[in-house]
Structure 1
Amino acid sequence: MSLLQRHPVPVFHHDAEHRHAPAHAEDERCPWCDQAIPHEKFSAIRDRIAAKERQQYAEMTARLKEDFAREKAELAARVREEAQLALQTEFAERLKAAEETRLAAEAARIAAESAFNQQRELLEQEKTVAVLAEQAKAFEERQKLQERLALLQKQIENKTAQEIGEGPEADLFELLRGAFEGDRIRRVAKGLQGADVIHEIIRNGQVCGKIIYDSKSRNAWKNDFVTKLRADQLAERAEHAILSCNKLPQGVQQIHVQDGVIIAQPQRVVVLAQILRRHVIETHELRVGNEGRDEKTAELYAFITSDRCKQLLDQIALQAQRMLELEATEERAHRLTWERRSKLIRSVQKVHTDLCFEIERVIGTGEDAADDPEFDLGSEG
């Protein structure tokens, strides 16, 4: 119900006759009792009625404005309350949805971490199993090698002296062939008389002379070694004879001359052969007689057994050993570099695998990653 309906305003109507009639006293009547009244009194009553109407209209208008303002304020407050309630409800719903999303993400993260930890533990277990398998394999191989070594040692102990000398003799033959490619070097077959190796020195297509060699690997020295090689030298008419032996006569070191035979440790044989070969070539080109040749040979043997020659040979051996050590050091450095590079490659492969796993986990295709040939770098070697 509107304000005008709740508070009707009394309206006083005057007939047109009364509003426009001439001002005659006998015609003026009271609007309430309809009695005739004088014109002056009628005008006063009419003015009071108009003033009353205006006052009532003003009061009614004020009440209406107050009621309208109050209802408007109440409506605005009710709208604000409803809007605030709606916002609170919407915020609560959004907060609840966000919390559910966070809990779901947290659960997914925990599940992914658990799966990743399980995979890492599985990889660690596989790695441990592989390492143990390699260690077991290495242990078995080491055991086999030790058994093989023990068998070889037993076989060596059971070998005859001739069989023991076969290895050093073959080594000496190969060393001489490598050092003197232009000469004629041959081995004497087992069971035949003669030295182990015959070395014919070739110069300009001609044989200038001979050097014969015997190789002995024994636990003790015997003078028969020299006697036998000296006889072979005379039979071959060789200029020189070298006995390569790991055991020298008592009190002798490195090189010794006995009964015209040069006795030397195996590592000195090739150097001595080079010296003797040059002596043979020079005496051949100078066509020195037997007497002069024997004299020069004696001088050469004296030099070979001198301290000066031993010093020079020691220097050669020392420098050669240093070169071998340098080569070994370089090889170890290369091997260390290769091992470090291999470890770095494996580390990069592992990080790449972890990165791929995390990416696949985030985008949700982790199950298909195992089928990707690029997922595991380790399989490519």
Structure 2
Amino acid sequence: MSLLQPRAVPIFDLPDETAGHAPHAGDERCPWCDQAIPHEKFLHIRDRIAEKEREQHALMTARLKEDFAREKAALAVQVRAEAKLAADTEIAARLKAAEDARLAAEALRLSAETSLNQQREVLEQEKTVAVLAEQAKAFEERQKLMEKLAQLQKQIENKTAQDIGEGPEADLFELLRGAFEGDRIRRVQKGLQGADVIHEVIRNGQVCGKIVYDSKSRNAWKNEFVTKLRADQLAERAEHAILSCNKMPQGQQQIHLQDGVIIAHPQRVLALAHIVRRHVIETHELRVGNEKREEKSAELYTFITSDRCRQLLDQIVLQTQRMLELEVSEERAHRMTWEKRSKLIRAQQKAHSDLCFEIERVIGTGAEGALADDEAVTD
């Protein structure tokens, strides 16, 4: 029972015989002090009590709604957290399962490779002397092809110092020394002033002139590369200077002339070296003067930087790549031929073994029959 409910019996449920009879003054009791009060006063107090109860009910309802909303929000947060935890756990389990599967596949692959290597070793042991001799010869040819392949790949890919561990100038030095065996080509030691490579052109035992080279493998172009090589060219009194660089000046590609220095992509350096070397030999044999030599050099540089020269050099690179692909295909075809020959030899050996077995079996049966006939005659 509410504390605001009147303790006196309300007069709204009077017996039927009193219906229509106006209450007397003082017949009503105050719900608070239990004193007799007029009916109008009682109605006023009752209405106020009812209003207070409605206000309290509304307040309690709002408070219950707030509590319910808070509990609902907290429950939602908890549900989301539990769902996230469950999802994370499932993802972790799936990742672990995937990793386990990957490790198992890797182990299976390694096992298959080991088994394959063992089978190859067994097959190698079963080959005849003739096949071994032929394969030895083929192996030597393949080694030569692989060396040439590595050299061509080095030219095409322009390996950097980090790739080979000696620096790009080592690549350039080996490339030039292999191409011009009769010339004097030397590297400038680390820490000393000068270009990376000094190329003295030799013709009939005489020095015709010099070409200096620098090799740069950088992430960005710097004009200091040209300034430094130009100074080295003047110090060496060289006829030409070639800068091999994987990064060209802005707006330039493959070949560019700057301050008297030929800037070229590493793929173009060897072809340019052939061109300028021939120019050095011809100007030396013609014994042209310095003025005429500079004029010829200017004409040569104009041609080198022309579209025609670029097209020809592109054709050289393209044909080199095709030669490389042809050598790879040829090597693959040789390998397939060796494998087929090895299978045929094994099949021939097995057939020969089966034939010997059948002959021995027949011979053994004939001997036993002859022995049985001799015993019968003796008896």
| TM-score scaled by length of structure 1 | 0.50
Match of 1:182 in 2: 182
Q: CA deviation at 1:236?
A: 0.9
Cα pair distance change 1:362/1:247, threshold 3 Å: farther
Q: Is the 8 A contact 2:161 2:168 kept in 1?
A: no
What residue in structure 2 maps to residue 304 of structure 1? Answer: 304
* Cα distance change, pair 228–242 in 1 and its aligned pair in 2 (3 A): same
Q: Which residue of 2 aligns with 1:134?
A: 115
Inter-partner Cα distance in structure 1 for 2:165 and 2:212: 16
Cα distance, 1:361 vs. partner? 6.5
**Other-structure match for 2:293:** 293
Unpaired segments of 5 or more residues in structure 2? 1-110, 120-159, 366-379
CA distance 1:255–1:132, shift in 2 (3 Å):
closer
Deviations 1:211-264 (A, max 9, x none): 001112223322222221111111111111111122222332221111211111
Letter in 2 for 1:215: S
Q: For the residues of structure 2 that align with 1:348 and 1:164, how far apart are their CA atoms? A: 47
Give the secondary-structure state (helix, strand or coil) at the position aligned to 2:292: helix
Aligned partners of 1:165 and 1:216 also within 8 Å: no
CA distance in 2, matches of 1:293, 1:284: 9
Looking at structure 1, the residues matched to 362 and 220 of structure 2 have their Cα atoms a distance apart, in angstroms, of 78
The reply on whether 1:244 has 2:244 as its aligned counterpart is: yes
Q: Aligned equivalents of 2:310 and 2:161: distance in 1?
A: 30
Structure 1 unaligned residues grouped into runs of 5+ = 1-129, 139-159, 366-381
Paired residue type of 1:213 = Y
Q: Quick check: 2:283–2:293 contact (8 Å CA) kept in 1?
A: yes
CA contact (8 A) 2:256 2:305 kept: yes
Structure 2 counterpart SS, 1:199: strand
Q: CA deviation at 1:270?
A: 1.7
Contact 2:161 2:167 in 1 (8 A): no
Aligned to 1:215: 215
Is this contact kept in 2: 1:165–1:215, CA < 8 A? Answer: no
2-structure distance, mates of 1:283, 1:208: 8
Cα pair distance change 1:163/1:362, threshold 3 Å: closer
Distance 1:308 1:356, change over 3 A: same
What residue number does 2:263 align with?
263
Using the TM superposition, give the Cα deviation of residue 177 of structure 1 relative to its aligned residue in structure 2, in angstroms. Answer: 1.6
The yes-or-no answer on 1:197 pairing with 2:197 is yes
In structure 2, what is the Cα distance between the partners aligned to 1:219 and 1:259?
22
Matches of 2:116 and 2:324, distance apart in 1: 31
In structure 2, the partner of 1:330 is 330
Larger Rg: 1
CA deviation profile, 1:268-293 (whole Å, cap 9, x unmatched): 21211111111112222333222222
After superposing the two structures, state which structure 1 stretch, 264-273 or 299-308, moved more: 264-273
Q: Which amino acid aligns with 1:134?
A: S
Task: Tell me the alpha carbon deviations over residues 39-63 of structure 1, each in whole angstroms, 9 at most, x when there is no partner.
Answer: xxxxxxxxxxxxxxxxxxxxxxxxx
| In structure 2, C-alpha distance between the alignment counterparts of 1:164 and 1:349, rounded to whole Å | 47
State the AA in 2 paired with 1:279: H
Task: Please give the alpha-carbon distance, in whole angstroms, between the structure 1 residues aligned to 2:243 and 2:165.
Answer: 13
Q: 1:173 is aligned with what amino acid? A: F
2:285 counterpart letter in structure 1: E
| Contact preservation (8 Å) 2:187, 2:198 | yes
Normalised by the length of structure 2, the TM-score is 0.51
Q: 1:362 to 1:211 in 2, by over 3 A?
A: same
Distance 1:323 1:333, change over 3 A: same
Query: Over aligned residues, Cα RMSD in angstroms?
Result: 3.0
1:303 and 1:339, CA in 2 relative to 1: closer, same or farther beyond 3 A?
Answer: same
1:328 CA drift (Å): 2.3
Matches within 5 A, 1:1-381: 133-135=114-116, 166-356=166-356
Q: Which residue number in structure 1 is paired with residue 11 of structure 2?
A: none
Q: Determine the C-alpha separation between the residues in 2 that align with 1:216 and 1:362.
A: 79
Determine helix, strand or coil for the equivalent of 2:189.
coil
Deviation of 1:347 after TM superposition, in Å, equals 2.6
If asked which structure has higher relative contact order (CA below 8 Å, sep 6+), I would say 2
